[in-house]
Amino acid sequence: MSKNIGIVGMGYVGLTLTAALAEAGHTVHGVDVQQSVVDALSQGRPHIFEPGLEEVFRELVGSRILISTQLPRTGLDAVIISVSTPVDEATQEPNLANLAAAARDIARWCDPDTLVVVRSTVPIGASRSVVLPALLEAWPTARLAMAPERTIQGQALRELVELPQVVGGLDERSLQACIEVFSELSREIVPVSSLEAAEMVKLSNNCHTDLIYAFGNELALIAGAHGLDPLEVIRATNLHYPRPDLAKPGYVGGGCLTKDPYIMIDSSRDHEPFLVRRARELNEHMPRHVAQTVVDMLVERRGTAAGACLAVLGWAYKGVPATDDMRGTPIAAMMPVFAEAGVTVLGHDPVVTDEVIHAYGGEPVSLDKALGEADAVLVINDHPDYRAIQVDTVWSERHPLFVFDSWRVLDERAVTGAGAHYASLGYAGRGAEPQAVPA
């Protein structure tokens, strides 16, 4: 049965959920405090890149998608909170001001019969301790649920339908109302016993992913110290072995994996987690470690890094599925290292705009220019355009001193055959000396 649903916050989570619910037949009232966002969305122009999103908005805005700066006063069956819950860079503590403000606005705009669903990622207990009191200040009773978002950029519209939807309620009435909302969207609903259990599900998913990737990075550092190829070790470890696969080394970015471990730590109260913080520290270390490695390689091969021209391919935090999301991008931690060494950075990304590359300190260029004019090339993400590079063609006349291929998307033999040295995470190239383990 179609419903009238409000969504507060038109960031990535709210925007994709708006499109998915509208496609499922609901009428969705999207709300955002930024007038520029409201104006663009009202014209069917999403401000965030996500495959399929623009097509849905063009088709349904003005009919089943209605965008404004506040919710309608009547007629809403449910309101979903999808505002940002950032972590303070200095204290690493979550800032829940947006969550509290959204709850107060909903209490002002709506009535106690409206189901309120927390979609934002929050510390365990925040739905009960932050959202519920704001509702009960205005209402005699409240219906409250938690339904965490767990999609990945680049395939969110598909995963909103295919992934199980976890739902926890304040009480049975709230739980059943939330199940009714999401049963029109998701193929499988997973009820849990409380708001807190649902909150912890989201944190657990992302902290576990961060831990898995951290172990891959740990292996790369150890392999490098012994002159081994970490991918050879990982492939041999995984092949036909009936235990959980090891992850390849790589950068760990995005809005969730860089933030949610700190929210889990905040949720731990008096118990400091043994693993979560250390995994996050290792993953945050890797971009700086790679940047310094690239600078050292420039010094080794040029005598100095100052004045060198480095082409950086891939500025979004990941390349597959493609996204323009710069949250947690490794280049943010790398650029200060390059700037201090006096390195000029040419930037290319198939999705990220030239304006964003320039804002991060790079000089936006075409892929041909990046490959043809740089002293060295650093591949940061694994976008398919980079896998498709024909090394023999682009470096038939002039080649860079080296390529640092973070995700091993280029053919090492083709790169070395063109005259350039090849290296990657924990891998100094065939026949190279063992690497020092970073402090």
Query: What are the pLDDT digits (tens) for 187-240?
Result: 999 999 999 999 999 999 999 999 999 999 999 999 999 999 999 999 999 999
Split at pLDDT 50, 70, 90, the class of 436 is low
Q: Is 115 within a domain?
A: yes
**Mean pLDDT, residues 413-429:** 96
Q: Is 229 within a domain?
A: yes
Whole-number percent of the chain with pLDDT over 70: 98
Among 149, 167, 193, the domain-final residue is: 193
Of the listed ranges 70-74, 112-116, 350-354, the least confidently predicted one is 70-74
| Of 434, 374, 423, nearest in space to 400 by CA | 374
- Vertex 152: Cα angle to 150 and 153 (nearest 5): 135
Split at pLDDT 50, 70, 90, the class of 432 is low
- d(CA 20, CA 26) in angstroms, rounded, equals 9
pLDDT of residue 1: 79
- Model confidence at 287: pLDDT above 70: yes
Provide the domain count of the chain: 3
Q: Is 435 within a domain?
A: no
pLDDT of residue 396: 85
**Mean pLDDT, residues 42-47:** 95
151 and 297 co-located in one domain = no
- Model confidence at 435: pLDDT above 70: no
Q: Is 311 within a domain?
A: yes
- Model confidence at 437: pLDDT above 80: no
Among 158, 193, 228, the domain-final residue is: 193
157 and 207 co-located in one domain = no
End-to-end CA distance of the chain: 58
Mean pLDDT of the chain: 96
**Would you list the DSSP string of 130-158?**
IIHHHHHHH-SS-EEEE------TTSHHH
pLDDT tens sequence across 140-162: 999 999 999 999 999 999 999 99
pLDDT of residue 397: 85
211 and 88 co-located in one domain = no
Q: Give the residues across from 347 on adjacent strands.
A: 312, 364
Q: Is 429 within a domain?
A: no
29 and 167 co-located in one domain = yes
Q: Is 55 within a domain?
A: yes
The helix or strand, by DSSP H or E, that contains position 179, with its residue range, turns out to be helix 172-182
Q: Is 430 within a domain?
A: no
Amino acid at 2: S
144 and 115 co-located in one domain = yes
pLDDT of residue 373: 94
pLDDT: is 432 or 86 the higher one? 86
- Helix axis angle for 260-267 and 195-225, nearest 10°, is 120
- Model confidence at 24: pLDDT above 90: yes
324 and 397 co-located in one domain = yes
3-state secondary structure (DSSP) of residue 296 = helix
154 and 296 co-located in one domain = no
pLDDT of residue 438: 59
3-state secondary structure (DSSP) of residue 309 = strand
pLDDT of residue 247: 96
53, 46 Cβ separation under 8 angstroms: yes
pLDDT tens sequence across 373-412: 999 999 999 999 999 999 989 998 889 999 999 999 999 9
Provide the domain limits for residue 306: 286-423
pLDDT of residue 2: 87
- Model confidence at 261: pLDDT above 90: yes
pLDDT: is 270 or 388 the higher one? 388
Amino acid at 165: Q
- d(CA 338, CA 435) in angstroms, rounded, equals 20
pLDDT of residue 141: 97
**Mean pLDDT, residues 402-429:** 96
pTM: 0.93
102 and 26 co-located in one domain = yes
CATH number at 135 reads 3.40.50.720
| Of 328, 249, 337, nearest in space to 292 by CA | 337
Count of C-beta atoms within a 10 Å radius of residue 403: 28
Quick one: CA dihedral 185, 191, 195, 201, positive or negative?
A: negative
Q: Is 438 within a domain?
A: no
221 and 272 co-located in one domain = yes
CATH number at 224 reads 1.10.1040.10
25 and 149 co-located in one domain = yes
Residue partners of 253: CB distance under 8 A and separation at least 6: 317, 318, 327, 328, 329, 330
270 and 237 co-located in one domain = yes
Distances (CA, A) of 17 to 25, 373, 436: 12, 43, 46
pLDDT of residue 430: 79
33 and 105 co-located in one domain = yes
- Model confidence at 355: pLDDT above 90: yes
